[in-house]
Amino acid sequence: MSKVKAILGYTLASLSVPVLLATFFGLASWMNLLVAGTGLTISPWYSGGPVARTIDHATYQTRIHQPVFQALLGERREGFVQIAWSPREAVPELIDEEVDYNGDGQADFRIQLEKQTRQASLMPYSPQVIGLQGVYCLKEAWAIRASLKK
């Protein structure tokens, strides 16, 4: 038994270098495999979550993300919804838009955003909308986050 253990030990020790080389030389493939195999995505608390609907304007688009209430189990009482306008350069100097974030056909809030000053005001129409969380100039879009409650 001790001889088998020793052979196994030396075999595993000898495999260390190939395992390490495979880790580094095959890094791109392992990375893709990891992400595809686990289906992992970035937490919507950071990314804003997946886009639920897109509204086409003449020169730009409004992207309404899915509301984020994610918790470890179930959902939190408070969350946010991200609204983004892209492409960044084509977005008008002043955005004034009524947003129906839950897709029920009724506008839930009105957002006015001035690009130059990065100032925005939010007028809630729905009791679920608490207020404005922030204005962000992202890589490819202008965005706001509106705080929500369940």
Partner 1 sequence: MATQAKTRSRAAGLGIAKSLLLTLPMLLLSTVLITQGQIPKDPLQLIAVLFTWLLFNISFFLMLFTGKTYCYRSLLFILMAFGLIVWFSTTVLEERGNIALSDENIINGEVPFCPLVIPMTIIPAAVTRTVIFPGSLLSGFAPIASMIVIWLGASLVVGRGWCSWGCFYGGLDECCSRIGKKPVIKNIDRKWTYMPYAVLLGVVLTSALSLSPTYCVWLCPFKAVTEYAAVTSTMVLIQTIIFVALFVGLVIVLPILTKRRTQCGLFCPLGALQSLINKINVFDLRIDTAKCTKCKRCIQTCPTFSLDESSLESGRPLLSCTKCGQCVDLCPKGAISYHIKGTSLNASPQAARLLFLYPAFLLMSAIGGWMIMVGFWRILKLITTGSML
In the complex, minimum distance from the CB of residue 73 to partner 1, in angstroms, rounded to a whole number: 7
* Pick 19 or 58: Cβ nearer partner 1: 19
Rule CB under 8 A: say whether 71 interacts with partner 1.
Answer: yes
- Which residue(s) pair with 64 in the sheet? 53, 83
* Pick 50 or 106: Cβ nearer partner 1: 50
Number of residues in contact with partner 1 under rule CB under 8 A: 45
In the complex, minimum distance from the CB of residue 41 to partner 1, in angstroms, rounded to a whole number: 5
Rule CB under 8 A: say whether 51 interacts with partner 1.
Answer: no
Distance of CA 73 to the CA centre of its chain: 19
Contacts from 115-118 at CB under 8 Å and sequence distance 24+? 115/91, 115/142
Distance of CA 127 to the CA centre of its chain: 24
Residues 91-150 that bind partner 1 (CB under 8 A): 134, 136-139, 143
Count of Cβ atoms closer than 10 Å to residue 68 Cβ? 21
Rule CB under 8 A: say whether 74 interacts with partner 1.
Answer: no
Torsion on CA atoms 64, 68, 74, 75, rounded to nearest 10: -120
Rule CB under 8 A: say whether 23 interacts with partner 1.
Answer: yes
